[in-house]
Amino acid sequence: TFVSTVSFASELTQEEVDERRFQFHGVALFGGTDIFSKGIKIATRSDYSHVGALIHDADADVDDISSWYCFESTGSGCEVLKGHLPHVRVTPWANVVADYSGSVTTRLLGFDDGYEPNADAVTRFVRNFNGRAYEGDIGELFASIRDSNTEADLDTVFCSELTAEMFMELGYMERGTSGNGLSNNWLPAEFSAARNANQYIAHAALRDEVDVKVHRPGRLVRFGRWLRKTLSGLSCTSCTTAEMA
């Protein structure tokens, strides 16, 4: 989606991105409440309208939440009015959760022994795409719903295209010439537990969904619960694909 409540000022600058090394840990799924997000959820028959990659500073303590970020292609109407067009960005995870007006869910990755992400490769990917414009071809967006894009086009990228491309670039998904072999045929919903993305992932698997923030009238399930349920287990990051299935 190109609708977000994350402020432009909270994202890392290019200089800050270039100063850091990153590691890849999973995906964040978002269920927006605005009219555009609702349209995406209806069109894709899903509770989710947006997806981003969960990364953290590879040289920092993984249990330190201030070292975690969301890597995503997004933007907001307010930003457009200020002259900031939707684009790929790295934003502190705590800011993303606090500022987002809808629901936030995570799926951390478990990796087969010896197949943990290479931090240098993750860092190159993040630096290469950071600041890239959000998808400029509306036809490509609509084609992704029907799984009918026939060639990759990474000049501009939408949220799930960026996330799928990251999996492919790091060697966890196989590239192809059609269907899910093309990153621009992936939807946010396809990273959810309901769609079984793990059938396309090699040497790793997405774990169960964990609600970080649940949007309900008058009630929010907030950040501390997510920290207790997930970060405490990150010391054991290696597991077999069979264990994750």
Q: Give residue-wise pLDDT tens across range 5-32.
A: 344 458 999 999 999 999 999 999 999 9
Residue whose tokens read 């994750």: 244
For all residues of the chain together, what is the average pLDDT? 87
**Cα angle: 106, vertex 107, 111; to 5 degrees:** 145
DSSP alpha helix (H) spans, 118-222: 119-129, 138-145, 159-169
> How far apart, in whole angstroms, are the C-alpha atoms of residue 69 and residue 56?
6
pTM listed for this prediction: 0.84
pLDDT digits (tens, 9 = 90+) for 103-152: 999 999 999 999 999 999 999 999 999 999 999 999 999 999 999 999 99
> How far apart, in whole angstroms, are the C-alpha atoms of residue 156 and residue 119?
24
Whether the Cβ atoms of residue 2 and residue 78 lie closer than 8 Å to each other: no
Which H or E run contains 15? helix 14-19
User: In which band, very low, low, confident or very high, does the pLDDT at 172 lie, cut at 50, 70 and 90?
Assistant: very high
pLDDT digits (tens, 9 = 90+) for 61-103: 999 999 999 999 998 666 655 667 899 999 999 999 999 989 9
